[in-house]
Amino acid sequence: MKRKNSADEEEKSTKKRAVSINLPEHGIEIITKILKISDVESILNNVNKAVKKCKPEDLGDVRGDRIDVPLSLHKFYEPLKILLNPQKELVQILKNHLGENASLVEFAAMVANPGSVSQPPHVDSSKIEKPVNSEPPHILTTFVALQDISADMGPLEVWPKTHLQWVPESEDVNTTENSILMTVNSGSCYVMDSRVVHRGLKNNSSIPRVLLYFSFQRKKSQNLYSGSTYTIRSDYINKFTLEKLHEMLQVNETVEN
C-alpha cells in the first residue's frame, strides 16, 4: 500500500477546511491552488528583493516582530492578472461583499522570521462606535501563501464568527472559543474579514513565513472604522478601485513601476 506523505495529508486537510468555512458565517474563506508553483516562486523572489531594499521608515506598523513591506504593483503584474481575474472566485467574493468600486488600501508582504513571537489576539479594524445591527464587511484582506505553511512556522490563528461581535480595535482579546490555524499550501489563499479575531503565532521553525497580501475597502467607509495599518505605497493611496485594477491588468495596461 502506498503511504501518503505529510504534504498530501495537509492538502487534504486544507480542502476539508475550505469546504467547511465561508466568509459570511465564519469571517474567513480559503481558496485552494489559486496560483501555480511557478507563479509563487516568482512572487517570493520579488518579495525577498523588496525586503532587502526597503528602508525602516517604509515598513508598516505590525505586532510581534513581523516585517510588513509595501510592494510595487508593477513587480507582481503577472500573478495579479491571475488573482484579480474577474471570472475567478476571489474577485467574485470581493465584488459580492465590497462592490466593484472598493478601494485598494493595502498591497504588501508580511514576513515572520524565525523566532517571531506570538501576537495577542486582536482585530485589524472595527467600527468606531458599536453598530446597532449586523453590518457587511468594510475591509477584506487576501493573504496568499508563498510556501506550504506548517504549524511550527507560526501560521495565522483565527477565531471563526468573531466578526459578528463588536470588538474595539484598540483592545487585545481574551477568547476561549475554538480557533483554527491557516496551515495552507503554497499557492492557496485565504480572504479575511478585518473584524475577525486573529493572531500570528510564534515562528518556531528555521524558515521565514512569507505572505503576499492585499486589502480592499468598501467605498465611503474610511471614516467609520479604525485600526488598519493601511500598508501601501503612498503613491497608490486612493488611486485604484477593484474594477479599475482588474480592467488594467486584463487589457495589459501598464501599472507604473
pLDDT at position 167: 79
Encode 129-166: b = buried (16+ Cβ within 10 Å), e = exposed.
eeeeeeeebbbbbbbbbbbbbbebbbbbbbbbbbbebe
Question: pTM of the entire structure?
Answer: 0.88
pLDDT at position 12: 57
Encode 223-244: b = buried (16+ Cβ within 10 Å), e = exposed.
eebebbbbbbeeebeeebbbee
The one-digit pLDDT tens for each residue of the chain (257 residues) are: 344 455 555 555 555 555 589 999 999 999 999 999 999 999 999 999 998 888 776 666 565 578 899 999 989 989 999 999 888 899 999 999 999 999 999 999 999 999 999 998 988 888 887 777 778 999 999 999 999 999 999 999 999 999 988 877 666 676 767 899 999 999 999 999 999 999 999 999 999 999 999 999 999 887 777 667 789 999 999 999 999 997 888 755 555 54
Which domains, from first to last, does the chain contain? 6-250 (2.60.120.620)
